[in-house]
Structure 1
């Protein structure tokens, strides 16, 4: 009598954030999709889809769970990124949460690794071999898609990704085995852009990083961390003091912030391809 297959969530392997892609032919490079890291599990209990933290979100991803049941394997653990696409065909993080609750049929799971298949633990196999088996498992044309490696050297792939408004790339050693936790065998390189925006408020709370709140042509964009050294930071706070006392902008009264009168502009570095500021930091400031 066959022993029932029971598979458990595996803590993810985490790429380290670096400034530049690695060099050499020992690496593959994939698009860094802007979504929720997810783990797709099939065993004798059926299909389950877990978040990065191991929370069961199968009910939220019902259309994808139904599609996963048709993959031609008795059991598996597939890793991927849950995304929704915008009108340009790019992953859109801002629209993801509403898509999960209102239109889950529009979600895609971009699969990039295979940890378990038909009773076999594949984590000790090289990445290249795991992905080859994964690609053969996933049929074309569905909402579960294979994350293709991008051809070319890391620098060229990264440049192309940033030029086309992608979030960045993930570079992985072709011979890397799968181990939970942070690793330099996988590296993520994000695309950033810099722009000038109005500083409309500041948030300074004890024990938390200081942040400026930004607007672009009257539209609230979010916050950027202040990482200046002491002298430049003090110069910013002196400017802020001279402009403090403005009423909260419309729709932002619930924000715990010190609101500023117009006239202070900041140059902010933030993740490219986003509708609001993400992973943003203030690089400089000036008076209008």
Structure 2
């Protein structure tokens, strides 16, 4: 079965980080929001607006085989890192055309897996499955949750230039 692009949920800009325990905090990487789709027709990567950019991301398409999925839809961000190890939007366009080996897909949600739509499942459960699929050290990385209170996390990330 050929899987179709699912329009992603977009973040909402707020003045203050949310309070309470009902939140997962992650780094907001500076890149291109993307969706990786694996099915019987192969692997495709789409932009957040549903444009097929598979040809631009050859190395990441090949790396997707490491996920070991028969079929999957993974929501994430395509980034390139600077010398400090921070995502660098300014370098991203150059890397897409000239330095494919510098691109990373940072995965943060699993919407579909092996014939099952997972969107009704709790986010924490989907992320747990996704984390188990991703081998450390590759070009596909899992967006790890950050422990702690939101305001402290925000302050630390702001200090780090994220």
Q: Which of 62, 84, 99 is the equivalent residue of 1:103?
A: 99
Confirm or deny that 1:113 pairs with 2:109. Answer: yes
Q: Does 1:77 align with 2:73?
A: yes
What is the deviation of 1:70?
2.8
Equivalence for 2:157? 161
**Aligned partner of residue 109 in structure 1, secondary structure:** strand
CA RMSD after TM alignment: 0.6
Q: Which segments of structure 1 move beyond 2 Å, counting only runs of 4 or more?
A: none
Residue 147 of structure 2 is aligned to residue 151 of structure 1: yes
Tell which structure's C-alpha radius of gyration is larger.
1
CA-to-aligned-CA distance 1:233-253 (integer Å, 9 cap, x gap) = xxxxxxxxxxxxxxxxxxxxx
Q: Please give the per-residue CA displacement for 1:218-267, whole angstroms capped at 9, x wherever unaligned.
A: xxxxxxxxxxxxxxxxxxxxxxxxxxxxxxxxxxxxxxxxxxxxxxxxxx
Aligned to 1:42: 38
Structure 2 residue runs of 5 or longer lacking an equivalent are none
Q: Contact 2:26–2:143 (CA<8 Å) still a contact in 1?
A: yes
Partner secondary structure for residue 134 of structure 1: helix
Tell whether 2:124 aligns with 1:128.
Answer: yes
Counterpart secondary structure, 1:98: helix
Q: Secondary structure at the match of 1:110?
A: strand
Give the 5 Å matches for 1:1-288: 5-166=1-162
Distance in structure 2 (CA, Å) of the matches to 1:17 and 1:71: 32
Bigger relative contact order, structure 1 or 2 (CA pairs below 8 A, ≥6 apart):
2
Residues 79-132 of structure 1 deviation map (CA, whole Å, 9 limit, x = unaligned): 100000000000000010011011111100000000000000000111111100
TM-score (norm 1): 0.56
**Whose helix fraction is larger, Structure 1's or Structure 2's?**
2
Secondary structure of the residue aligned to 2:77 is strand
Normalised TM-score (structure 2): 0.98
